[in-house]
Structure 1
Amino acid sequence: MIRRRPRVRAAVSVALVLALAGLLFTASAELARGTQARHPQDLSQLVQAESDEVGRLQGQVDDLQGQVDTLSQAGSASIPTGDPKVMAPADVEAGLVPVTGGGLTVALSDAPQTGNYPPGITVDDLVVHQQDMQAVINALWAGGAEAMMLEDQRVTATTAFRCVGNVLSLGGRLYSPPFTVTAIGDPAAMRGALDASPQIAIYKQYVDAVDLGWKVTDKKSLDMPAASAATLEHATVPSGTDVFGSD
């Protein structure tokens, strides 16, 4: 049970209590601000905080990669590089070098959330899904794409992405629709591969039914940066292996 304390020296006690309360309030406010900055209160804040941190670290990686490139160019050691005719396409496929060329873009976007839709249509039918973008990427590779980007990042054999709702997570960054896939190659061949894809044919049925976004645009010139790939730390070439296939 809570008991009242005797009011002895009331004025002094009240003043002292108020002063201490002010100090505690100030300290609590400062602590709360610091805690809130380090520990977001909901999932969206946490995702945004982690995304910002990834962006900051990616900037450091880019700076360090620039220093490595500068030092590599300044080195005088002669390192075997293999046949340029063989290595150049491999470098492009692996996303190790920036590339320029003609090609096309494919844009996918969500349908309006409200509309006069056919019976049985659900919210999931109105958004672009991971398998839709994967179908586009697979078809473009099959159509002879030589280099590709999803949003502003190069797509390689090691690229992984996923969708949560209508948010795309790629390379530690988050993207909202519309989503754009860019490919360098023969536009006619890649369009043919898109038209021949059964998965894309299903997507186009929903384009007609609920107005999902679908737009393919030929481009005379496209510029793609090199991929931000991690450096191998544990994988090595066995001793005595002829890396470049020389006789």
Structure 2
Amino acid sequence: MPQQHPGRSTASRPARPDASMSLLTNVMDHSLDDGYAEAAARDVAAGRSGLPRTLNAKLWLAAGLVLAALVVTVGAVQARVDAPTVAKEREELIDRVEEGTREADALEERIEELRKSVSARQNEALERHGGDKGALTALLAGATPVEGPGLKLVVDDAKNTQQDGGDGPRNDSGFSDTGRIRDRDMQRVVNGLWGAGAEAVSINGQRLTALSAIRAAGDAILVDNKPLAPPYTVLGVGDGRKLSSAFRDSADGRYLQVLKESYGVRYNISAQDEVRLPAALSLSVRTAEPVKTGSP
């Protein structure tokens, strides 16, 4: 028969539910470090506290509190006093900006008026000094609006401008293989229309002359320094059916077809019973004089 040890119960003592969390329980039960607790107990036993005990120390503490309160009060008062001044300066700045904007708008309107006046005088000069061919000279120079039968060519970027076009006509010209229309593409399109017999050409309402320039600025196409956005609508005055046939058969027309097949560039060409082209806005008039040869 087994012997029972004195002082021990045969029944097992139940375990604490938080026995596995003894470290966390110790931290919760003793939130204050023992060393800090002993120091606080010694201060209480010695009658010491955090507040100054001498009169001089109390006076210095009171002076510091008064100074801090004075600084805060002065800062608040100064901010309140300066608020109207800051608001007034802000309103004055807004007024100056708005006034400058109005002046810039007025100058732009004045420039546009002067440009139209100069264009009108240039047109008059061409018509007056052109003799019996004045109307034809003004037409070919782009100095007058023109309307009549013609051709409409709409050129647009590919739906997916990042697609890989592979080999194509752009590779030897330094173009990236994308479906985006470039300035050189539009140059070839316009030259193809001139070569097909167009009497006047415009792109997105911008009349072209013999001195017009088609350039690029990043991905944008500039016509006489004015940016154009796709789709590009090219109008040509002349016999629409003949223009269409001649352009399709030309090297530039075949070039545009290759762009469509290789890069997905979209275009549509159609004959029109009537198209209207405006006069060129920035028309430059040049004169020529005979060269004097020999001695007088």
For the superposition of Structure 1 and Structure 2, which TM-score range results when normalised by the shorter chain?
A: 0.5 to 0.7
The change in CA–CA distance for 1:19 and 1:221 in structure 2 (over 3 A counts) is: same
Of residues 139, 148, 156 in structure 2, which corresponds to 1:92? 139
Q: How far off is 1:65 after superposition?
A: 4.9
Of residues 106, 110, 130 in structure 1, which corresponds to 2:153? 106
SS in 2 for 1:24: helix
Counterpart check, 1:27 vs 2:78:
no
Q: Deviations over 1:224-246 (max 9, x none)?
A: 222113465xx6654999xxxxx
Question: In the aligned structure 1, how far is the partner of 2:106 from the partner of 2:224?
Answer: 12
The change in CA–CA distance for 1:213 and 1:230 in structure 2 (over 3 A counts) is: same
Q: Quick check: 195-204 or 103-112, which moved more?
A: 195-204
Q: Deviations over 1:72-122 (max 9, x none)?
A: 7xxxxxx964541x3322211101122121010111100112787566799
Q: Deviations over 1:191-229 (max 9, x none)?
A: 233223334423322312342111101111112222113
Question: In the aligned structure 2, how far is the partner of 1:53 from the partner of 1:112?
Answer: 41
| Map of 1:15 onto structure 2 | 77
SS in 2 for 1:157: coil
Contact 1:132 1:200 in 2 (8 A): no
Question: In the aligned structure 2, how far is the partner of 1:182 from the partner of 1:125?
Answer: 25
Q: How far off is 1:133 after superposition?
A: 0.8
Contact 2:161 2:180 in 1 (8 A): no
More helix by share: 2
Q: Deviations over 1:114-151 (max 9, x none)?
A: 78756679965210011111111111111111111111
| Map of 1:179 onto structure 2 | 232
Question: In the aligned structure 1, how far is the partner of 2:95 from the partner of 2:261?
Answer: 50
TM-score, normalising length from structure 2?
Answer: 0.58
Of residues 163, 169, 185 in structure 2, which corresponds to 1:132? 185
Larger Rg: 2
Q: Deviations over 1:150-199 (max 9, x none)?
A: 11121110112323344222244322100111100122332233223334
1:154-165 alignment runs, 5 A limit: 154-165=207-218
- Any unmatched runs of 5+ in structure 2? 1-66, 169-174
Contact 1:104 1:187 in 2 (8 A): yes
The change in CA–CA distance for 1:94 and 1:118 in structure 2 (over 3 A counts) is: closer
Question: In the aligned structure 2, how far is the partner of 1:23 from the partner of 1:100?
Answer: 62
Counterpart check, 1:206 vs 2:268:
no
- Flag the structure with more relative contact order, 1 or 2, with Cα contacts below 8 A and sequence separation at least 6: 1
The change in CA–CA distance for 1:38 and 1:125 in structure 2 (over 3 A counts) is: farther
Question: In the aligned structure 1, how far is the partner of 2:290 from the partner of 2:166?
Answer: 65
Question: In the aligned structure 1, how far is the partner of 2:225 from the partner of 2:110?
Answer: 10
The change in CA–CA distance for 1:53 and 1:94 in structure 2 (over 3 A counts) is: farther
| Map of 1:245 onto structure 2 | none
The change in CA–CA distance for 1:189 and 1:59 in structure 2 (over 3 A counts) is: same
Report the count of equivalent residues.
215
Contact 1:98 1:224 in 2 (8 A): yes
Letter in 1 for 2:85: L
Contact 2:166 2:262 in 1 (8 A): no
SS in 2 for 1:125: coil
Question: In the aligned structure 2, how far is the partner of 1:229 from the partner of 1:161?
Answer: 14
Question: In the aligned structure 1, how far is the partner of 2:98 from the partner of 2:178?
Answer: 37
Q: Quick check: 118-127 or 194-203, which moved more?
A: 118-127
Contact 1:103 1:183 in 2 (8 A): yes
| CA-based RMSD | 4.1
| Map of 2:206 onto structure 1 | 153
| Map of 1:45 onto structure 2 | none
